[in-house]
Structure 1
Amino acid sequence: MIETILLIVLMIVVAAVLYYFLKEGMKLVINAVVGLVVLYLINLFGLMSYIGGSDLSITWASVIICALGGVIGVVLLVVLDLVGITV
């Protein structure tokens, strides 16, 4: 009887931990997708030429930065491009 109760408690804890990680993971996925879309839109409309920078090139490095950093990664790429550092 005690083993059954312990197993139920253990399954509730595992379910709670999985829910937390999946909830946080979805936030990260949404942030990454928004960052990649913003990077694409900046290149599509040529917005970097309006603020004095060169055209942002979409390379594997810039895609990885945007996927990991999201919108903050795009801002980082824009700032680096304005300073003169290309990724």
Structure 2
Amino acid sequence: MISTLILVILCLIVLAGLWYLLKNTIKIVINSILGLLLLGAVKFLHIFPILGFPDINVGWVAVIVCAIAGIPGAVLYMILHVFGMV
């Protein structure tokens, strides 16, 4: 009886941990997708040439930065592009 109760409690703890991880994972995935969309929109709308800067290059580095860091990564990549570091 006690072993069954302990097993149920352990299953509930594992389930709560998985729920927490999945909830945060979904937020990270959405942030990454929004970062990639932001970078794509800036490239598609030619924002930088309008402001007097060269057009931003979307390569593997930009995609990896946006996929890992999301919107802050896209903004950081654009700031580094403005200063000519990328």
TM range (shorter): over 0.9
Tell me, what secondary structure is at the counterpart of 1:56? coil
Residues 16-53 of structure 1, C-alpha deviation per residue, up to 9 Å, x if partnerless?
00000000000000000000011111000100112232
Across the two proteins, how many residue pairs are aligned to each other? 86
Q: Give me the identity figure in percent.
A: 36
The ranges of structure 1 where at least 4 consecutive aligned residues each deviate by more than 6 angstroms after the TM superposition are none
Structure 1 gaps, min length 5: none
Instruction: State yes or no: 1:35 paired with 2:27.
Output: no
RMSD: 0.8
Structure 1: how far apart are the matches of 2:66 and 2:51? 20
Q: What's the counterpart of residue 81 of structure 1?
A: 81
Tell me, in whole angstroms, the C-alpha distance in 2 between the residues paired with 1:52 and 1:41: 17
TM-score normalized by structure 2? 0.95
